[in-house]
Structure 1
Amino acid sequence: MRVPRQGPDLNAEDSEKSPAEDNQILTWEQLRAVLKAATRRDRILLMLDMTDALRPSELFAFRWKSFDDVNTLSITETIYRRKIRPFGKTPGSMTKVHLPDGLAGELRQWKLECPDPSPDAPMFPNADGGFLDPANFRYRVLKPLREAWELPKLNFQVLRRTIATRAQKLGFGEGRSITLASLTSRHHSERVHAGASGECAADGRNGLRDAHVDGNRAEGRVGLSR
């Protein structure tokens, strides 16, 4: 399936790195503000990226038939240069990922609200009902959010690094530690999500659980991107 050309183009798959890439992470308050400001569609995309460490090429290729309506997503396709393809970056990347209960519930709610929940429809459609382009999402969604909250940088890598670092401080993973490598292995997503939510519940001010609640109450500040 061909995805219409739209917005800026990135030729490198999942490209977010630059020679000057630093180790920036967000505070819980910044992370909460970003998630609260996003629409439900965009908030779920970002949460999937953070808690299940999905590559953008996998994340933006999901159809509704990829979801079992309980708590599992099946990766069977990827998107690259605005084309859907039936294979992944590596043989092992075509797998199943299990969602934390809260995130699975948000995804089920989004299915009720999205324009087309039919099995072959994109799970996260653009304004025309087609597949979102990862580069365009960075430009039309992440860039305005970064500017609105005056963040030096906001991309998928920063979000994943934030969760990995904050989870490490909470003592998750073997030896009461968790690395970015172990997070991206997808084995720790349930515990990381729970741990991040637990910290926000403990301090009563910020974190992912509050972001879920506040985001559900508020209108998103960033609309559907093309």
Structure 2
Amino acid sequence: MLGEIETGTYKQLPKCTFKQFTDIWLRDYKGKYLKLKRSTTSLFKDIIERLLIPAFSDVQISDIGTWHLQAYVTSRATKVSANTVRNELTVIKLIFKYAFKWGYIKGNPTEGVDRPEIPKPEIEVLSPDELEKLVQKAEKPYRTAFLTAFLTGMRAGELWGLKWSDIDWNSKFIHVRRALWKGQFQPPKSKHAIRKIDISDSLIQKLKQWKLTCPISEHALVFPSPEGRLSIHENVVKRHFNPALRRAGLRQVSFHSLRHSNASMRIRAGQNIKYIQTQLGHASISVTMDIYGHLFEDAKFNRQQVELLEQSFRSVRNPLENPLKSEKRKAANG
């Protein structure tokens, strides 16, 4: 500070506690600097109010140093997952980025904070045979939904937010325009998630069949609840997806594994990595490779794209048919 006074560059920082600044930041960052999704805003507020304010509340934001933040991160890493800590650190970095930008601090203390390493989770996928069992054991209102998730690789929120107007029957694609999250429509995960997913004649026919019996909903949703209301993902998983897995005698996997399974099948079918990236809605090829790179090493197939991809699924024969009828037909054929 003495050197700054001598050179005439000293500037008094505004007095502002961490809590006072976060109040300002939440208001102005959301309103002026980014069009945040509702889910992101809720997450930010929860992290700030439940965790960061209790930790740094009355401390002057200009007095918070790298070691304070590193101590917070290290402590949290002993209590919650590395991914959760990284989410919290993302919010911390944004707060101090704007504190520096707006002249509340002289340097950014987050630049020296180390993030906890995230171990790569094992990718769980369902085989075509397993998908067939899942769909056959699912309740009728959800059979086409589970099949569509598998054959398109759509994220859960994108699937439940899909409207009939998003399907181009002639050009054979699904236009992902929105996601449904906790009863609220919002933009997809990123600009790259707004995309057109190519679909096959087989899936088109199944969707047309489903449309004939689909519950009428206010928003013309492709997959509303059986009562015609918005589908709540957590309820679908708990009440319909997990029970279908158990009835099918399958291991417990997440709903997101349907997306992983789609990526796996695309790779095994020899689809181009750039095409896979755009179909899945990843921000870059590197994201696709980070998640699924190991699968490319095992891929030994080189087939055409959407139509031939589906031919590798036994389930596409007619996974929505009555399984009892299927068994009777097998018996009749000897």
TM tier, shorter chain? 0.5 to 0.7
Which residue in 1 is equivalent to 2:311? Answer: 198
C-alpha deviation, 1:144, in angstroms: 0.2
Q: Does 1:24 align with 2:119?
A: no
Give the Cα separation in 1 of the matches to 2:239 and 2:120: 23
Going by fraction, where is helix more abundant, 1 or 2?
A: 2
Q: Secondary structure at the match of 1:51?
A: helix
Q: Does 1:89 align with 2:152?
A: no
Give the Cα separation in 1 of the matches to 2:310 and 2:169: 23
5 Å matches for 1:205-224?
Answer: 207-210=314-317, 213-218=318-323
C-alpha deviation, 1:66, in angstroms: 2.2
5 Å matches for 1:50-129?
Answer: 50-70=150-170, 71-85=172-186, 87-116=187-216, 120-129=219-228
Q: Secondary structure at the match of 2:185?
A: strand
C-alpha deviation, 1:36, in angstroms: 2.1
Q: Secondary structure at the match of 1:97?
A: strand
RMSD, aligned CA: 3.4
Distance 1:192 1:166, change over 3 A: same
Give the Cα separation in 2 of the matches to 1:20 and 1:141: 28
5+ residue gaps, structure 2, are: 1-41, 44-82, 85-118, 283-302, 325-334
Which residue in 2 is equivalent to 1:146? Answer: 245
Partner amino acid for 1:72?
A: F
Greater displacement, 99-108 / 64-73: 64-73
Contact 2:164 2:221 in 1 (8 A): yes
Q: Does 1:184 align with 2:277?
A: no
Instruction: Report the number of matched residues.
Output: 189
Of the two, which has the highest radius of gyration? 2
Give the Cα separation in 2 of the matches to 1:106 and 1:140: 23
Q: Deviations over 1:164-198 (max 9, x none)?
A: 3344344x124xx8997576249xxx956534443
Q: Deviations over 1:3-31 (max 9, x none)?
A: xxxxxxxx98xxxx997943333333222
Give the Cα separation in 2 of the matches to 1:43 and 1:130: 17
Give the Cα separation in 2 of the matches to 1:104 and 1:96: 14
Q: Secondary structure at the match of 1:84?
A: strand
Which residue in 2 is equivalent to 1:44? Answer: 144
Of the three residues 164, 173, 177, the one matched with 2:271 is 173
Instruction: Give % identity.
Output: 17
5+ residue gaps, structure 1, are: 1-10, 201-206, 220-226
Q: Secondary structure at the match of 1:88?
A: coil
Give the Cα separation in 1 of the matches to 2:176 and 2:267: 27
Give the Cα separation in 2 of the matches to 1:192 and 1:36: 26
Q: Secondary structure at the match of 2:311?
A: helix
Give the Cα separation in 2 of the matches to 1:83 and 1:148: 31
Which residue in 2 is equivalent to 1:7? Answer: none
Q: Deviations over 1:116-135 (max 9, x none)?
A: 278x3222121321111111
Contact 1:78 1:88 in 2 (8 A): yes
Deviation above 6 Å: which 4+ runs of structure 1? Answer: 17-20, 177-180
Q: Deviations over 1:89-144 (max 9, x none)?
A: 212322333321110111111111113278x3222121321111111111111110
Give the Cα separation in 2 of the matches to 1:23 and 1:179: 20
Q: Secondary structure at the match of 1:140?
A: helix
Q: Deviations over 1:47-70 (max 9, x none)?
A: 322222211111101222222344
Distance 1:214 1:49, change over 3 A: closer
Partner amino acid for 1:76?
A: R
Contact 2:195 2:278 in 1 (8 A): no
Contact 1:69 1:108 in 2 (8 A): no
